[in-house]
Structure 1
Amino acid sequence: MITIAVDAMGGDHAPKSEVEGALRAVKAFDVRVVLVGRESVIKDELNLHGKWKNLPIEITNASEVITMEDSAAKAMRTKKDSSIRVACRLVRDGVAAGVVSAGNTGAAMATSKMVQGMIRGVERPALATAFPTLKGTPTVLVDIGANVDASAEMLAQFAFMGHIYSRAIFGIPKPRVGLLSIGEEEHKGNALTHATTPLLKQLPIHFIGNVEGRDLYTGLADVIVCDGFIGNVALKVSEGLVEVFKSMLKESLSSTITRQVGAVLAKNGFSELKRRTDYSEYGGAPLLGVRGVCIICHGRSNPNAIKNAIRVAAEYANNSVNDRIEEGLATLRESK
């Protein structure tokens, strides 16, 4: 049984969402969860859900909490018994296979990198997330914020890690990898995309050239690579657009549908749309390139998001994604 450590004090609704999400996860999946944080607070929250001591859930105490307002660098130096740091230590020491956190993203990334360490050969870790597409298969976008500035060599490495992640987690034998740019033609883009293109052509991946922002949703590519600044903007714009679209659609349906049968059909269709575009169904974003597993979630993650983040962490560990990345990078080095 895979053990996943959960930073129970990090999110906007901590520890409520983390505790309820962990309870849902251990009931739905073959996982054990260690809730990390202030023990008395976590126990009080667990007790609100009735009997839990026979479930595969444990508590590890951590006396400090890194808030969303804390500087990541300062928090790492001063809060050495924070819930995210203790959770990462559990991964480093082999007690847990991965960590899930909805806390301060910068602190979670920096702590995971420092405590768990990096996969040999990885220059910088990158955050990956899945976007729903018209073709029904997800598109993985790498990087969505871990590195606001990136070199061409880093983008090439992100593409290779994304390629391996897509194969291992989504079962795509030959992922189509695209480079996010302002046009499909190779001469379009900026200095970074121009420098990255020849490097991607040399990799043992199915590189399809430049793709545009709309292709996050068309399904043209299985993996799209960009620097973290562009990726984070794309992610936040997409989240805002989905919320606005769902709200506008709901208002339109409420005002135009009068027949009962039509209303039921519309409600069912709207529910399916919400499910397909709901961030909580994807759980969280894996930090590719660190040892062990680190899944970073929205600060506003609800219990369903935490539950699915735990599932993603377990799938990542069970599919040996890190071993595949390390082996792949070693092969690349040997071939040069």
Structure 2
Amino acid sequence: MIDVLVAGGGPAGLAAAMHSALAGLEAVVVEPRTAPVDKACGEGVMPSGVAALRALGVEVDGMELRGIRYVDGTARAEALFRGRRGLGIRRTELHHALHQRALRLGVRIVPGKVGEVRQTADTVTAAGFTARWLIAADGLHSGVRRGLGLELPGSAHRRYGLRRHYRVEPWTDFVEVHWSGHGEAYVTPVGDDLVGVAVLSRLRRGYDEHLGAFPALTASLRGAPATEVRGAGPLLQRARRRVAGRVLLVGDAAGYVDALTGEGIALGLGTAGAAVRCIAAGRVTDYERIWSLLTRRHRLLTAALLTANRRPGTARLIVPMASRMPPVFTAAVHALQ
């Protein structure tokens, strides 16, 4: 019998399968899409995420990131990462490296989609497989979470993300977050001549209209060849709990606040590892508490920034306040890295 069946072959799902294989457990990943998979993503990996990749033996090339910079007009606040560097990398390149490493570890990746989930006291059956455990890593709009009745209603304050790449030489080795009264634009260097620009907002409108709220950024990108736009949302997704019988939720499927602090990949890798460690130790009921501790700082800080960001007048105070209190801004970045 399979030890761990994984629903979803994105970064969190592949990480769960690799952790399983490294723990001596047989893992099978069910994923409907062909690798490498692209999606709307800020493409910045926090230092903790880089460390998690190395622990799995995943070698990736990208652009080193020194820290985070907030920009709003002439106001700026920046903080260096402490000790380790972050990484800017195309989502497709990251997924390819994870996929290849999983295959080398003996993980079986099969085409398909996990639909109905049936459980007994000792097994879980889905997508034609029976396993001892199922790890749901099927993303922001998790079908497993919904099918098990774990999904909570969304919020009236919905936010959406759009991402595009520009063929231009990066002008910074920071992740730059440009602020306006209605959203943010995230600039991440991902190649010697390529930057990713993701915009997040509660307003649903075209990418170029969003980008027009950031004139300095628009000037830096003017004339540069651009790729097609990819979108995602609504971003806030809530789950009643992370464990349901023999099913554990990881990554975005376990609940998601917002992309504002840029920790999605790092948290996906971290929660995947935590879930497998709980399975291997025979202490699955501990996972809910461990997940809460692992994600607590991210959830609290992101929620606080979102609350301040809901009013345009308050949103325009975030960067000036951060620039006047460098130790506070630096402490916040260090808490999340």
Give the alignment's TM-score, normalised by structure 1: 0.21
* Larger Rg over CA atoms: 1
Q: Answer 1 or 2: which has greater helix percent.
A: 1
Q: Answer 1 or 2: which has greater strand percent.
A: 2
